[in-house]
Structure 1
Amino acid sequence: MADYTWLISGASSGQGAEIALAALKAGHRVVATARNVSKARMDLPEIEKLGGTWITLDVTSADAQSVAEKAVKDHGINVLVNNAGYGLRGVLEDLSMDQIRAQMETNFFGVLAVTKGAIPLFRERRSGTIVMISSASGLTGTPSQSLYSASKFAMEGASESIAEELKEFGVRVLIVELGAYRTPFQAAVDKPTDVISEPYKGTVSDKTAQRITAGHGRQAGDPAKAAQAIVEVVTKTGRGRDLDGIMRLPLGKDALHRADVKIKSLSDDVARTKDLAEWAVFDTPYDGYPPL
């Protein structure tokens, strides 16, 4: 079996913890990160029992990039999982700029900092996998979660570009788009009654937020199976044996449905606007810029 050593951000609970456990149970080495390592050790003693190592990492701290770079170098990391993040509930009008910036700081800028820490050694070794834990809300916008969606859209856009930048160095980027999974993630998000203002009561934003909150603890997604799927796709084993080369990995029936809806919507818009798009150019031959 190939040698895999994982660095997982936000591994102290939820999907990050499940990925750490799945990788350890598969016989890999894991460096799990948390903002509060003492608490993480108490909450998840099985990580160290299975041979995992904890290090402190706050993706929003000024030293996040250097901490990640040192971990990659010291532990021989060849799989980075950008899992740290949180959900923000509320329509754009109701959110303060401080809330908006904090959401992007963790879910987007923090991801970039950690990724920048890993890239140099991955590039030099001409190998490695960068896993971006995204969401179905990173492919289709969700009313009442506009900034959470924005943070995941931004991460996915950067990931597509990074994948092209690193492909010739043998480094793979995998975007995991999770549907609704039964983790503590939604429990940490404000309830609709706390954040949906009066003008939006009864609208699609309110109804969506209420539905998501009501479904907490009853989500169809099994986080242990999602973690196993991610490990198998990264290592090209089991169910992931024939999935080498994919960029996006939607997980959950709801994630698949939302992807299908997005594909249809995009396809319909492109088909309807084709003539107008082709008209809006100079009446000269195409000169090759920008490259298609």
Structure 2
Amino acid sequence: MTAPKTWLITGASSGLGAALAEAALKAGHKVIATARNIITAAEANPQISSLGGHWIELDVTSPDTAKKVEDAVQEAGGVIDVVINNAGYSLLGSIEDMSESEIETQFSTNVYGPVRVLKGVLPFMRASKSGTVVNISSSAGIDGLPTCAIYAGTKFALEGMSESLARELAPFNIRVLIVEPGSLRTNFWSAYVEPAAGMNKGYTGTPLDKTLQLFKSNTGSQPGDAVKCAARILEVVDGVGMGSGKQDLLRLPLGPDCYKRFQTKIDNLQENLLATKDIAHSTAY
């Protein structure tokens, strides 16, 4: 068993976030669980409080997020070992139908949210020269499907940011792990948001429409188990079980569906790269 650590998990009110909080607590860690409404979150997840978890109210779209996170860490003893940027949602549909306000809220949650949280925790991690940052991305962070242009855009942004952070934070012994779950059987997809304007009729019958209908019909039958995913994440963070010897991983794809999509993406990238080799090399001075 590893030494107890202090974890901060955003979006812990349901799904993967709640499963992660429970797994970390059962492993002997201290957990600061965040939710926008901690009353309903605690009622829906009584096991988190009963296991010793501490709830704090946090809306990652708020400009005072970093200060709230900083205060929570100070109250917990001034040390934060693991931060899980899990809070997020999906805005699905055509970008033609999305208002700028809807797009801005999606980016504020999925991209600026983790930035705000990191601004609160990184000073503590740098001071102790230790820590693990876990950014919950998605299979959409590597492979963007129709209807997911904006959602995938936020996850691609998180992936790129995480790659740079991994290099920037390495001198401080702070590790960055990007977690990329496939489709999980949680309320995530049933809670997705569509543009208020609805779908432009021009997209009827197109891949965008068909994929959106597939997402709707798959609710409750997704292949991924959030509890098992939480267990694998915990093991990779703690370097135990299936995570033993994998502490240097940057990416953690989860689910056969995710793995298959990534393999196809890699194959297509390789094919594209080879096909453009002569063009790429023709542009040098």
Alignment TM-score, normalising by the size of structure 2: 0.96
Residue 103 of structure 2 corresponds to residue 105 of structure 1: no
Classify 1:40/1:193 alpha carbon distance in 2 versus 1 (closer, same or farther; 3 Å): closer
Superposed displacement of residue 117, structure 1: 1.1
- Where structure 1 has 5 or more consecutive residues not aligned to the other structure, the ranges are 283-292
Residue 25 of structure 2 corresponds to residue 19 of structure 1: no
Alignment of 1:75-90 (within 5 A): 75=76, 76-90=79-93
Alignment of 1:251-262 (within 5 A): 251-262=254-265
Contact kept in structure 1, 2:141 and 2:159, CA below 8 Å: yes
Query: Aligned partner of 1:29: which letter?
Result: K
Report the secondary structure of 1:275's partner residue.
Answer: helix
Rounded to whole Å, the distance in 2 between the matches of 1:197 and 1:253 is 33
Residue 240 of structure 2 corresponds to residue 205 of structure 1: no
Contact kept in structure 1, 2:91 and 2:195, CA below 8 Å: no
Alignment equivalent of 1:217, drawn from 199, 203, 220: 220
Residue 59 of structure 2 corresponds to residue 58 of structure 1: yes
Contact kept in structure 1, 2:88 and 2:109, CA below 8 Å: yes
Query: Aligned partner of 1:276: which letter?
Result: I
Rounded to whole Å, the distance in 2 between the matches of 1:106 and 1:112 is 10
Rounded to whole Å, the distance in 2 between the matches of 1:87 and 1:195 is 15
Query: Aligned partner of 1:277: which letter?
Result: A
Could you report, residue by residue, the CA deviation over 1:123-158 in whole angstroms, capped at 9, with x for unpaired residues?
111100000011000111111111100000001100
Rounded to whole Å, the distance in 2 between the matches of 1:264 and 1:275 is 19
Rounded to whole Å, the distance in 2 between the matches of 1:162 and 1:80 is 14
Residue 160 of structure 2 corresponds to residue 157 of structure 1: yes
State the partner residue of 2:198: 195
Superposed displacement of residue 72, structure 1: 2.8
State the partner residue of 2:273: 270
Superposed displacement of residue 196, structure 1: 2.8
Rounded to whole Å, the distance in 1 between the matches of 2:75 and 2:110 is 25
- Equivalenced residue count is 282
Classify 1:262/1:33 alpha carbon distance in 2 versus 1 (closer, same or farther; 3 Å): same
Identity, in percent, stands at 47
Rounded to whole Å, the distance in 2 between the matches of 1:61 and 1:158 is 20
Rounded to whole Å, the distance in 2 between the matches of 1:113 and 1:248 is 22
Superposed displacement of residue 45, structure 1: 1.1
Contact kept in structure 2, 1:73 and 1:121, CA below 8 Å: no
Report the secondary structure of 2:185's partner residue.
Answer: coil
Residue 255 of structure 2 corresponds to residue 241 of structure 1: no
Superposed displacement of residue 226, structure 1: 0.3
Superposed displacement of residue 243, structure 1: 1.2
Cα RMSD for the two superposed structures: 1.5
State the partner residue of 2:46: 45
Residue 98 of structure 2 corresponds to residue 91 of structure 1: no
Rounded to whole Å, the distance in 1 between the matches of 2:101 and 2:80 is 34
Rounded to whole Å, the distance in 1 between the matches of 2:4 and 2:171 is 21
Report the secondary structure of 1:196's partner residue.
Answer: coil
State the partner residue of 1:132: 135
Contact kept in structure 2, 1:181 and 1:219, CA below 8 Å: yes
Classify 1:95/1:193 alpha carbon distance in 2 versus 1 (closer, same or farther; 3 Å): closer
Classify 1:190/1:62 alpha carbon distance in 2 versus 1 (closer, same or farther; 3 Å): closer
Query: Aligned partner of 2:278: which letter?
Result: D
Contact kept in structure 2, 1:177 and 1:251, CA below 8 Å: yes
Superposed displacement of residue 194, structure 1: 8.1
Rounded to whole Å, the distance in 1 between the matches of 2:154 and 2:196 is 23
